[in-house]
Amino acid sequence: MVKKMIKRILYLAIAFLLAGIWILLDAKPAVAQDDDSSVNYTYTVVSERDFSNKDLVGAVFAAAEMRRTNFSGSNLENAMFTKGTLINADLSNTNLSGALMDRVNLDGADLSNAVLNGTFLTRSTLEGTKITGADFTDAILNRYQVKLLCEKAEGVNPKTGVSTRESLGCR
């Protein structure tokens, strides 16, 4: 158990270091483009945009404004959302495995049936977030957030077969 926690902390430290280096090397803010071939939306406003059912593996949405944005059914594996705003966003049925979501505002977002295996959700807010069927296996969350999420955790993820309560370690 201690080795697993040390491993998670090491992964988190490496992720933060890489994220910091990447953001520092990005000298000018990216401009959101109309075609989805661009995967860098750092410091952009993409609120109410439709990214549903897209392959956005490794996409970068660092410090982006994404209110009411639709990501449903998309593959966001290893994506970066650090300091992003996803208030009332639709992330249902998404693959967020390995995503970096440190200090992200997910208030009112829909994470129903999302796969968040190994996702970093530290210092993020999840007030009013829908999590029915979400799989948080090996995700890194603050204890307080886990406690709040366990109060409403229910359902089983249709892709992984893991219950939301089990993946959060709820009692």
Q: What is the DSSP string of 35-51?
A: STT--B-TT-B-TT-B-
Per-residue pLDDT of 126-155, as tens digits, reads: 999 999 999 999 999 999 999 999 999 999
Q: Is 52 exposed, middle or buried (0-12, 13-18, 19+ CB in 10 A)?
A: middle
Listed by start position, the domains of the chain span: 38-170
Q: Predicted confidence band at 99 (pLDDT cuts at 50, 70, 90)?
A: very high
Q: What is the pTM of this model?
A: 0.79
Q: Which CATH class is domain 38-170?
A: mainly beta
Whether the Cβ atoms of residue 91 and residue 72 lie closer than 8 Å to each other: yes
Residue range 108-133: mean pLDDT, rounded: 97
Cβ atoms within 10 Å, residue 144? 8
Q: How far apart are CA 168 and CA 171, in angstroms?
A: 9
